[in-house]
Every structure is written in structure tokens, then in C-alpha cells.
Amino acid sequence: MIKVGIIGATGYGGRELIRLLGLHPEAGLVKVTSTSAAGQPLGAVLPAFDGLTDLSLEPFEPAVLAQECDVVCIGVPGTESMPLAAALREAGARVIDIGPDFRLKDPESFKQYYGVDHAAPQYLESAVYGLPAFYRRQLENASLVAVPGCYPIGAILPLRPVLEDVNPQVPVIIDAISGISGAGRSTSEALHFPEMNENVWAYKVGRHQHIPEIEQELCHPTPIQFTPHVGPYTRGILSTITFRPEAEVDLNACYAAYEAEPFIRLRGEGVLPELKHVRGTNFCDIGWVNDTRTGNIIIVSAIDNLMGGTAGMAIQCMNLMFGIEETAGLGFGGMSV
């Protein structure tokens, strides 16, 4: 039994990790911490888990966590996990960070997009980007995993094998729409129910902090146009990707290696994914259209931003880190309703 601790258990990513661990056959939650609610029973703070756990929230003590947990997952707002992860690593814990702090290899880029100096740059090189399709081997021995961001997962998985076959000069445009859980549990007038219901908008166009992460992993020298939107629903990211290759590209061939991926489903040419098929799952569904009229390829991907986009991906990384079945605890089918 892998003993797991969660830092920031009351956030949306933390809650989803707790939920998934409740079904995991070979891992269990042993420690939960929270700054705001330390001392209270987890089931009192999060009634959704009442009756399923006797754990209480504790303050953050890295030595204790390192001793009692096989792995510690961190789910705190961006820029706040740097000192926590560093302290945990120094105490000897293996760490899975579901936040952004260790995803970018370049601390300059981190500073530019997150607005602060990186507090633990010494861990950037060894941190493994937690995208199993591309870093499976590194994950096996990782001591610090940076789980990819939700938008990057929906962009990198459909694009990385394809752009290898595309002229580096070709511009790529990604319009993505996310459910509101992606913004986390912090309240704001913009996301107050009556303001957000029946509403859609684009935001941080050309300057979203996931841009450098996407570009780092795509190795495509032309800057990516990434336009995120938010829509009136809770879970899921649909990413619509458009580009015009100079020569024909065979997407089935590009994606051949994905046939063996346990959580990527190729829907094929002309079959486009829907959020409902991935809701509550760890899958990334991918479909596409070759528009011969315009010469463009349009690829659409769908993920559940809290599962395949965060907590499910973290569990998949954990499974690899501990050498157990990669799919353990992740056999969820989609909640199509």
C-alpha cells in the first residue's frame, strides 16, 4: 500500500485526489494538511468525504510527512508550492506537485509568466514533467514530479506527435474552453454563479501562464497562439487546434505510438470528441478534420480538467513512480450524464 499525503487538501485538485485515492487498490491517503482548516476532521471540512475517512487536517510539517508518506502530493495555488516542495524534498519525501511551480525548466520564463523569482531553482532540472506518454521512463525514478497544467495536457497530447512532421514555420492556433473549476475555489465576482451562468468569455489572450509550458513541450519554434475561454460548466477542457501544414500530414501515422497509451483515445478523422465522454475519467480524447477546402487541419481534444487534467494524471504518475500497474485506480468510464 502506497502511503500518500496531500498538501492543500481542500482545493479542487486536492479534493479530486482524495476522491480518486478512495478507490485506489494499492494506495491510500494517510496525511492531509491545510493551512486554513488544520485541526478539523477532513469529513467535517469536506462533507463529501464524511464517512469515508477518519483523517484530520494537520499543519504542514515536512519531516513528519516525509517519514509517514511514501509520496506527498501538493495542490496549492501557483507560486506557493515552491517552498513546500523544497522543504519536502530536503526532508527526503518524494513529491508530486499538481501546481505549476516545477513545470518550466527555464526560471526566467517562470518569472516572466508567474511574476516572481523561482524560490527553488535547484530542483528544476531533476523535476520530471508528469506526462507519461513522453516521460514514462523518467517518472519511474522521479523524486519530484510536476504534473502538467490542464490546458497544456489538452494541447501537448494532440500536437506533439504531429508537429514533428510539420514545418517549424507553420503557425498554430489553439482556442480552448475550460469549465470553471479550472479557476480553483477562490471566489470572484466574475465567477459568482449568476454572473457566470449563461456566460462565455476569452481571457489572458496571448499572455496566459500556460503558454511557455505548451511551447516548452512542443519544441515548435514558431510561437503558439493560445486563447483560453471559460464557459458555464464545471469540468472539462475542449481544445480546438488549427494549422495549415505545407505538406500533407498523416495523423494516423503521427499518432501510431498513442495506440499503446492507456489514457489516450483516438477518435479518428471526422469524429470529434465531446466533454461528456471524458467527464470523470483520466482520458484525453482526440479527433480531427482535414479540411481540404482551406488546407487546414483542425484537431480537437477533450479532457476532464480535474481528472485527466490534474488528479488522474497525478495518480498515473504515482503508479509509475512506484512500479505498480499504470492504470491502477483509474479505470473510470465517462459520466456521459
| Interface characters, 188-227, with its own copies (x: CB under 8 A) | xx-xxxxxxxxxxxxx-xx----------------xxx-x
Decide if residue 309 touches its own copies (CB under 8 A).
Answer: no
CA 185 to chain centre: 16
Decide if residue 334 touches its own copies (CB under 8 A).
Answer: yes
- Comparing CA positions, the residue from 79, 83, 59, 73 lying closest to residue 24 is 73
Catalytic residue check, 69: no
Q: Which is nearer to its own copies, 88 or 239 (CB)?
A: 239
Decide if residue 279 touches its own copies (CB under 8 A).
Answer: yes
> Who contacts 331 (Cβ-Cβ below 8 Å, separation ≥6)?
none
Alpha-carbon distances, residue 150 vs 43, 45, 110, 169, 326 (angstroms): 27, 26, 17, 26, 20
How many Å apart are CA 300 and CA 240, to the nearest integer?
5
How many Å apart are CA 262 and CA 313, to the nearest integer?
12
> Who contacts 130 (Cβ-Cβ below 8 Å, separation ≥6)?
96, 139, 142, 145, 146, 147, 148, 313, 314, 317
**CB of residue 131 to its own copies, shortest distance in Å:** 18
Decide if residue 281 touches its own copies (CB under 8 A).
Answer: yes
Q: Which is nearer to its own copies, 48 or 63 (CB)?
A: 48
Residue of 69, 73, 150, 254 with catalytic role:
150
Q: Which is nearer to its own copies, 143 or 222 (CB)?
A: 222
Beta bridge partners of 268: 287
Alpha-carbon distances, residue 157 vs 67, 149, 160, 198, 299 (angstroms): 35, 12, 6, 30, 11
How many Å apart are CA 205 and CA 92, to the nearest integer?
40
Q: Which is nearer to its own copies, 64 or 183 (CB)?
A: 183
- Comparing CA positions, the residue from 179, 20, 200 lying closest to residue 98 is 20
Q: Which of residues 108-127 bind its own copies (CB under 8 A)?
A: none
> Who contacts 9 (Cβ-Cβ below 8 Å, separation ≥6)?
15, 17, 18, 32, 33, 34, 42, 46, 57, 75
**Binds its own copies (CB under 8 A): choice among 49, 135, 151, 258:** 49
- Residue owning grid cell 475517512: 53
- Residue owning grid cell 532540472: 125
Q: Which is nearer to its own copies, 68 or 274 (CB)?
A: 274
C-beta separation of 3 from 70 below 8 A: yes
**CB of residue 144 to its own copies, shortest distance in Å:** 27
How many Å apart are CA 27 and CA 135, to the nearest integer?
22
| Interface characters, 9-38, with its own copies (x: CB under 8 A) | ---x--x--xx--xx-x-------------
Decide if residue 73 touches its own copies (CB under 8 A).
Answer: no
Q: Which of residues 221-260 bind its own copies (CB under 8 A)?
A: 223-225, 227, 229, 231-236, 238, 240, 242, 244
Decide if residue 268 touches its own copies (CB under 8 A).
Answer: no
User: Of 70-78, 145-153, 186-194, 247-255, which segment contacts its own copies by CB under 8 A?
Assistant: 186-194
Q: Which is nearer to its own copies, 62 or 161 (CB)?
A: 161
Decide if residue 324 touches its own copies (CB under 8 A).
Answer: no
Q: Which is nearer to its own copies, 62 or 312 (CB)?
A: 312
**Binds its own copies (CB under 8 A): choice among 26, 185, 253, 325:** 185
**CB of residue 108 to its own copies, shortest distance in Å:** 15
Decide if residue 168 touches its own copies (CB under 8 A).
Answer: no
Catalytic residue numbers, as ranges: 150
